[in-house]
Amino acid sequence: MHNFDFVKPSSLAEAVKAMQAEGAQALSGGQTLISTMKQRLAAPAVLVSLTGIAEMKGVSVAGRVMTIGAATPHAVVAKEAAKAYPALAALAGGIGDPAVRSRGTIGGSLANNDPAACYPAGVLASAATIVTSRREIAADDFFQGLFTTALEEGEIITAVRFPIPDRAAYAKFLQPASRFSLTSAFVARTGSAVRVAITGASENGVFRWTEGERALSANFSPQAVKGLKANADDMIGDLHGSKAYRAALVGVMTARAVAMAMA
């Protein structure tokens, strides 16, 4: 690991200022960044810790909208979101192991945008809004490909706002060794509109499965997507599963999520 300076601001304003330093990198839960630094794949000159900023933590609900501070650990979301948005709470409670859930944060997960991470699916299917130190970004505009987001240099995710759907569920096909998603689906229904987000399957990262959305908007039942599968061309193919296997899993996991949401 390279030498670096460490800064722990107590307010968002202080963090924004600290991020102006050359080579500065925001540090939230550090579940990915610290590992890459140890492997010398990342060498920030300054680490700006967000863990001491109280205004970036916590879960609150106003009407049909849930707001989660970006520095809120997964374990806290799993507990505090359970009543208002159980599907999202279940997603958070299934991330990694207890150590990861106690340190990892929703903001860190979204900023990293790992193609097999869970939170991007929940955010995209919920049509959430990512609030940053500079602006608000719709989920449809935020995720831009493998480990790529709309965030600009020095921009910090401060919170995520979730419209709470009428019905929702997350069905995760677990890769046992890493506990990441091999292929997972988050389904959210509000009125007759349905959004389906898939993670773990595509080389381009999280994506909305529009074919499944159309079928489920017409008939919200597992049978509506029976036999449907995603285009295999963009799927990940590796020792855990072929492109065709993951393409088929898209339909299977979506059907499971719908069944869970109906229950």
Say if CB 216 and CB 222 are below 8 A apart: no
Would you state the structure tokens that stand for residue 182, as one six-digit string? 């091999």
Are residues 234 and 204 in contact, defined by beta-carbon separation less than 8 angstroms?
yes
> Residues in the chain with pLDDT < 70?
1
| Cα-to-chain-centroid distance, residue 156 | 16
CATH topology match: 5-49 vs 54-163: no
Structure tokens at 137: 């970004």
Q: Give ∠ CA 76-4-132 in degrees, rounded to 5.
A: 45
- Among 101, 256, 232, 249, which residue's Cα sits nearest to residue 179? 101
pLDDT of residue 4: 87
pLDDT digits (tens, 9 = 90+) for 20-69: 999 988 988 877 787 888 888 888 888 899 999 999 999 999 999 999 99
Q: Tell me what pLDDT residue 235 has.
A: 96
Q: Which fold has domain 5-49?
A: 3.30.43
Query: What does DSSP assign to residue 37?
Result: H
Q: What is the pTM of this model?
A: 0.94
Which of 228, 173, 217, 219 shows the shortest CA–CA distance to 195?
217
pLDDT at residue 230, as a whole number:
94
CATH code of the domain occupying 167-262: 3.30.390.50
> What is the per-residue pLDDT for 27?
85
pLDDT confidence of residue 226: 92
**Predicted local confidence at residue 9, as pLDDT:** 94
Q: In this structure, are strands 136-138 and 129-132 parallel, antiparallel, or unpaired?
A: antiparallel
Tell me which amino acid residue 216 is: L
Q: What's the CATH fold of domain 54-163?
A: 3.30.465
Q: What residue type is 90 in one-letter code? A: A
Assigned token pair, 57: 């933590």
The full set of domain ranges for the chain reads 5-49, 54-163, 167-262
